[in-house]
Amino acid sequence: MIQSSLKRLFIGGLCCLFSSSVAIAETIIIENINLIDPSKAGSPVEVSLLIKDGELALVSQDPIQAKKGTEVYDAAGGYILARLKVGHPATIIILDDDPRENFELLLDTKEHASFAMNQGEVVRSRLSTRSSAAATPTDPELSSSEEALTDESSPDETKPGWFAYTPPPFALPIAYDDHQPFNHFETNWTKGAFVLAAVLDSTQISPDEDTKSAVGPFDESGGGEVRGVRFGVVGALKLDEPWIYTFFAATNSFDSEFLGSDTDQLTMFDYRLDIPMPAQTTLSVGKQKEPISMERLMSLAFQPQQERSSASDAFLPSRNVGISWSGNAFEQQSSWAIGVFNNWFDDNTDFEQSATQGVGRVTWVPWKSADESNLVHLGLGLRYSDAKEGVRYFTEPEVNTLPIYADTGLIDANYSVSTTLEASWRKGPLWLGAEYTRSDVDSTASGGLAFDGYHVTASYILTGEMRDYRYKSGTFGPIPIARPGDLGGLGVFEPSLRYSHLDLNDGPIQGGKTDIWSAAMNWWPRKDLNMSVNYRYIQLEKNGFEGNTHALVSRITFLIE
């Protein structure tokens, strides 16, 4: 009830008690403000405000860096009442105490208001101020990993040079309400969320004659397709230690245009139960990703490139049915996982006739900076298969609509062993990553065979955000968006470059070689929408031909999480 009273009295008190304006700089920052969340009765949130030309530009819990000429106000823990609409003239009052505890503050705002703005004009200011003494390159709208404010009064607060990283201030959602997201649910025994991902592609390709001769005829018309639609539910059973369940189905229209005929087929993509075990370990049962390769384990939607590298797709399956056990060691600096898999259930075959795999992965962070913005990741994975159904490695050249370029064909084998090596360096918004995969096959006809491939990838987040490192799984997470479009920002821009190599030739097996150079640009205007463009130059050596293909893929991804 007191919350609604605050809202009713706010504008009236502001207009009646303050009539004259106070001259201020064009850009001001107000720090150390307590923001009351009207939907919660708990502690307020400490925030900073950025106001440009009288309009609210940013509300953030992070420090906001100042440029030359910016006036910085210290609210000294005052409480704000405001119409916080980014991109609109600021209308605010800052009180010297919490009006929820002392309602009479609103009856004497001349005494208790330390700062006030009405429609972008300052009508009272009793806050202490300082002006930034020197120009700094940092702007919350265009932040960079190397930009940092160095205050002359505290020169050691940030380190200059290559090892410095100052993240951009993250915009705080200020449209508070009492409603949980529409796709979330909660009952007495479970809670969770319905999840949806829809991916639309438009592709233009240009292969030369040697490529056509090596691969065979394929459709060059390009156009649009539904790359995939995946939907499902993720939730937790409300036990003393929650059990996490995951269920996803997927439809794919690989050959249909946006307005074409419906050729979708439904696939049970994930069905997994994660059970907490002693020593903070987890037992995962069901259809899931095998614990091998960071590139394979990370969600494709959040990677720098639209498709995984050719080596990852050729040697490692998307999902498998089995059981895995995972955990951490050395104070979370290392992750480990092992599992046993057999896809008999999904393939509708007898268990004894279906191949069984043993898979394991270990990761390690050998070095990281004190603030963890600079770290090195290393990983090793092994995959053994008894190859009861034979072995076949094949893949498209990192463009979903292209035909298979490299293919060993089915190889009768006694067993196969795949090894993966991972190395990544992340420094703020910069991420350099590489993976090498080798598969050794004990062929019944040709003896020992070896195939391999690798990729080297670089990405840089132009807006200054940094991918989180997930110590539990030894992977990197999605890009956090400091200022999404619905909070007055432009979102996130991430260019990326990649080179990948795949060699499926050894002895009598001549599956082909590919070398692929890729350039990408990702734009996340908000966390549920991604637009990206990928260009690929593909070189193929196969059947005595040496061809090349140019491909351009535009993609829109919609997410509900």
- What is the average pLDDT across 19-27? 69
> pLDDT tens-digit profile of 488-534?
889 999 999 999 999 999 999 999 999 999 999 999 999 999 999 99
pLDDT for res 175: 53
In this structure, are strands 27-35 and 71-83 parallel, antiparallel, or unpaired?
parallel
In a domain, 315, yes or no: yes
pLDDT at 266 over 70: yes
Q: Which of 354, 301, 372 is nearest to 531 (CA)?
A: 301
Q: What is the pLDDT of residue 197?
A: 92
The pLDDT value recorded for residue 176 is: 46
Amino acid code (one letter) for 123: V
Does residue 167 form part of some domain?
A: no
The rounded percent of the chain whose pLDDT value lies above 70 is 84
CA dihedral 464, 470, 476, 479 (to 10 degrees): -40
Q: Tell me: do 127 and 205 sit in the same domain.
A: no
Q: Which tokens in the block code for residue 250? A: 């997927």
Both 219 and 107 in one domain: the answer is no
What pLDDT, on the 0 to 100 scale, is given for residue 472?
A: 95
Report whether 430 contacts 326 (CB < 8 A): no
- At residue 133, does pLDDT exceed 70? no
Looking at residues 8-16, what average pLDDT do you find? 49
- Letter for the amino acid at 456? V
| Cα 255 to Cα 219: distance, rounded to the nearest angstrom | 10
* CATH number of the CATH domain containing 268: 2.40.160.10
**Three-state SS across 159-214?**
CCCCCCCCCCCCECCCCCCCCCCCCEEECCCEEEEEEEEEEEEEEEEEECHHHHHH
**Is 149 part of a structural domain of the chain?**
no
Q: How confident is the model at residue 142 (pLDDT cuts 50, 70, 90)?
A: very low
Q: State how many domains the chain has.
A: 2
| Longest pairwise C-alpha distance within the chain | 93
Identify which of 371, 449, 374, 382 has the alpha carbon closest to the alpha carbon of residue 412: 449
User: The CATH number of the domain where 42 resides is what?
Assistant: 2.30.40.10
Contacts with 530 (C-beta within 8 Å, 6 or more apart), sequence order: 301, 522, 523, 524, 555, 556, 557, 559
Structural domain ending residue among the three candidates 131, 159, 187: 131
409 in a domain, yes or no?
A: yes
- Three-state SS string over 109-170 comes to HHHHEEEEEECCEEEEECCEEEECCCCCCCCCCCCCCCCCCCCCCCCCCCCCCCCCCCCCCC
Same domain, yes or no: 255 and 396: yes
Examine the domain organization and report whether 413 and 491 are in the same domain. yes
Residue 304 CA: distances (Å) to CA of 119, 433, 499, 523: 42, 11, 13, 10
Q: Please write the tens of the pLDDT for every residue from 328-365.
A: 999 999 999 999 999 887 777 787 888 999 999 999 99
Q: Rounded to a whole number, what is the distance in angstroms from the first to the last CA of the chain?
A: 33
Q: Which of 82, 107, 131 is the last residue of a domain?
A: 131
Cα 98 to Cα 104: distance, rounded to the nearest angstrom: 10
Residue-level pLDDT at 140: 39
Same domain, 334 and 443: yes
Do 496 and 520 contact (CB within 8 A), yes or no? Answer: yes
Has residue 264 got a pLDDT over 80? no
Q: Which residues are paired to 237 by β-bridges? A: 190, 243
115 and 207 fall within a common domain: no
User: In the prediction, which pLDDT does 533 show?
Assistant: 98
* pLDDT tens per residue, range 158-209: 444 445 667 777 776 665 444 578 899 999 999 999 999 999 999 999 999 9
Q: Which residue has the tokens 């076949």?
A: 392
CA angle 493, 494, 496 (to 5 degrees): 155
The answer on 460 and 545 residing in a single domain is: yes
**Cα–Cα distance between 145 and 164 in angstroms, integer?**
8
pLDDT value of position 198: 92
Are residue 346 and residue 487 in the same domain, yes or no? yes
CA dist 270 and 264 (Å) reads: 18
- The token pair that represents 15 in the structure block: 């207009």
My answer on whether 100 and 227 are in the same domain is no
Distance in angstroms (rounded) separating the CA atoms of residues 110 and 105 = 9
Q: Are 258 and 249 in contact (CB under 8 A)?
A: no
Residue 146 has pLDDT above 50, yes or no: no
- pLDDT score at 134: 43
Q: What is the DSSP string of 463-505?
A: T---PPEETTTTEE-PPP-SS-GGGTS--EEEEEEEEEEEEEE
- The pLDDT of residue 171: 74
Question: Which residue segment(s) compose the domain that 359 sits in?
Answer: 200-560
Answer whether residue 151 is part of any domain: no
Residue 240 has pLDDT above 80, yes or no: yes
Answer whether residue 126 shows pLDDT above 70.
yes
Pairing mode, if any, of strands 128-131 and 184-186? Answer: unpaired
Three-state secondary-structure class, residue 46: strand
Q: What is the mean pLDDT of residues 294-306?
A: 96
**Of 131, 164, 185, which residue constitutes the final position of a domain?**
131
Single-letter amino acid code for the residue at 396: E
pLDDT exceeds cutoff 50 at 148 = no
3-state secondary structure 526-538: ECCEEEEEEEEEE
Q: Let me know whether 75 and 204 are in one domain.
A: no
- Does 420 map to a domain? yes
**Residue 398 resides in a domain:** yes
Structure tokens at 511: 């599956």
3-state helix, strand, coil in the chain (%, to 5): 10, 50, 40
pLDDT in tens, 58-108: 888 888 888 888 889 999 998 887 777 888 888 888 898 888 887 777 777
Q: Which pLDDT value is given to residue 154?
A: 39
Q: 37 falls in which pLDDT band (50, 70, 90)? A: low
Question: Rounded distance, CA 215 to CA 213, Å?
Answer: 6
What is the reported pLDDT for 139? 42
Are 120 and 212 members of one domain?
no
Taking residue 314's Cβ as centre, other Cβ atoms within 10 Å add up to: 27
Q: What is the pLDDT of residue 43?
A: 77
Average pLDDT score over residue span 437-449: 95
Question: Residues 305, 457: contact at Cβ < 8 Å?
Answer: yes
Task: Evaluate if residue 263 carries a pLDDT over 80.
Answer: no
Q: Has this prediction a pTM greater than 0.85?
A: no
Residues 405, 383: Cα–Cα separation, whole Å: 24
* Residue 444: per-residue pLDDT: 92
Among 156-165, 265-274, 316-325, 455-464, the least confident range: 156-165
Q: Are 208 and 108 in a shared domain?
A: no
Q: Is the pLDDT of residue 547 over 70?
A: yes
- Report if residue 486 sits inside a domain: yes
